[in-house]
Amino acid sequence: MNAPDFWSDKSNNEKVIEEYNELKNIIEGVVSLKESITNDLELLQLLKDEFDNDIKSMIENNVNVILKKLEDLENLLLLNGPYDKLDAILEIHSGAGGTEANDWAAMLYRMYIRYFEKKEYPYEIIYSQKGDEAGYKTISILVKGLNVYGYLKNEIGVHRLIRISPFDSNSRRHTSFASVDVTPLFDNEVNVEIKESDLVIDVYRSSGAGGQSVNTTDSAVRITHVPTKIVVTCQNERSQIQNKEKALEILKNKLYLLELEKQEQALKDIKGGPVDINFGSQIRSYILHPYSMVKDHRTNAETGNAVKVLDGDIDMFINANLKINII
C-alpha cells in the first residue's frame, strides 16, 4: 500500500485494501481477546487475595464473552477453503410434498433471510417461482459478504420438516422436503467459453409483487446449457438485456465450479453430489410436532428451540459442520 503506484491501479488496490482490512480485523480480534483474558487473570488474582461477589460475577460474565470470541476466531481458521471468502448464490428447491413442500421452501427462505440480516450480509432475490397455492417451488438469492460461501456451503443438502399441516383440514402430521444448493460467486476474471449453440434462451413475463413493483414486460430470462443441463433464471433486473447478462454471469460461475470439480475430483467437498429431495436423504430435520427439535444428521448437533432456529439462529449447525469437516 506504500508503493508509489499503488493508488493508480484501481483494479488491484481494491483487492489489497480488502485483504488488509480482513487481516486487520483478525489481528484486532486476537489482541482484544488477549486483553480480555489478561484483565480477567488480574481480577482472579484480586479475588484470590480478597473474595468479592461482584468481581466473581464479573469474571463469570466475561468468560462467556471470551468463549464466544474464541469460537469466532477458531471458525476463521476453519474457513480456509479456496472459495470460502467468496460471495454466493443460495438456491432453495421444494421437493416431495406438493403445497406442503412449497410452504416449507418459503419457511427456509425466511430462515436464511433472518440469518443474512443478523450477519449483516447484503442480499437480493434473483429468481423466484411461486407455488400454485403457497410458498415457492424455487427461489435463488445472491448473498454478499466476507466468508459467505464458507458458511453457507454447510447448508447444502436436503432439509426435512415434520409438523401438523396448516393445509390439512384433518390436522394430520405431514413430512415435507426442500433442498438447498450453494454456488460460490467467482471474480469477474472467470473466463469460461460458452457456445451460443449450446444455449436455449427463453424469455417470459416477470412476476411482480403487485402495484408499482409489477414488471409488465417480457423481461425474465431462462438459460439452459444443453450439454450440462444446467438451468439459470433471472428476473430481478429491469430489462431483458440486464437479466440475460446476469443469467450468463451465474451460468459461467456454475460451469466454472463444475470444471473445478472435475479437475480436482472434489465434487463432494465443494458442492455436494446430486441427491433425491425425499425420505432418507436429509442433512437436517426440523420437528415441530409432536415435540420441538432441530437435529443435524451429519454432526448430531441439536436443539429443542426450533422456533429460534427458524428465526435464523443456525450458527450452531454451521459451526459444528465446519469443525467435523477438519481433515
Q: What pLDDT digit, counting tens, does each position of 152-171 carry?
A: 999 999 999 999 988 887 88
Fold designation for 196-264: Double Stranded RNA Binding Domain (3.30.160)
Q: What pLDDT digit, counting tens, does each position of 77-101 carry?
A: 899 888 898 999 999 999 977 899 9
* pLDDT (average), residues 245-266: 79
Q: What pLDDT digit, counting tens, does each position of 35-58 carry?
A: 999 999 999 998 888 988 988 998
Give yes or no for residue 62 having a pLDDT over 70.
yes
Give yes or no for residue 301 having a pLDDT over 90.
yes
* pLDDT (average), residues 222-239: 89
Q: What is the percent of the chain with per-residue pLDDT over 70, rounded to a whole number?
A: 88
In the chain the first and final C-alpha atoms are separated, in Å, by 35
Give yes or no for residue 256 having a pLDDT over 80.
yes
* pLDDT (average), residues 298-315: 97
pLDDT given at position 23: 86
Look at the block and give the residue holding cell 469477474. 188
pLDDT given at position 211: 38
Give yes or no for residue 239 having a pLDDT over 90.
no
What are the φ/ψ torsions at residue 89 (nearest 5 degrees)? Answer: -115, 120
* pLDDT (average), residues 308-322: 96
- Distance from C-alpha of 131 to C-alpha of 101, rounded to nearest angstrom: 9
State which of 124-138, 244-258, 263-277, 278-292 shows the largest mean pLDDT.
124-138
Query: H-helix or E-strand containing 127?
Result: strand 123-130
pLDDT given at position 69: 87
Query: H-helix or E-strand containing 123?
Result: strand 123-130
Alpha helices in the chain (DSSP H): 10-49, 53-78, 99-119, 148-152, 240-264, 267-270, 306-310, 315-324
Please, are residues 117 and 123 in contact by the beta-carbon 8 Å criterion? no
CATH of 87-186+270-324 among 3.30.70.1660, 3.40.640.10, 2.60.120.260, 3.90.79.10: 3.30.70.1660
Query: H-helix or E-strand containing 126?
Result: strand 123-130
Position 128 confidence tier, pLDDT thresholds 50, 70, 90 = very high
pLDDT given at position 31: 93
Distances (CA, A) of 44 to 56, 65, 70, 226: 8, 16, 20, 67
Q: What is the percent of the chain with per-residue pLDDT over 90, rounded to a whole number?
A: 49
Domain ranges of the chain: 6-78, 87-186+270-324, 196-264
Please, are residues 270 and 260 in contact by the beta-carbon 8 Å criterion? yes
Higher pLDDT, 93 or 214: 93
* pLDDT (average), residues 168-194: 84
- The strand order across the sheet containing 230-234 reads 199-204, 220-225, 230-234
pLDDT given at position 293: 98
- Closest to 286 in 3D by CA, of 150, 180, 147, 214: 180
Give yes or no for residue 268 having a pLDDT over 50.
no
Q: What pLDDT digit, counting tens, does each position of 269-287 carry?
A: 555 555 566 656 799 999 9
The strand pairing partners of 136, in sequence order, are 130
Please, are residues 223 and 200 in contact by the beta-carbon 8 Å criterion? yes
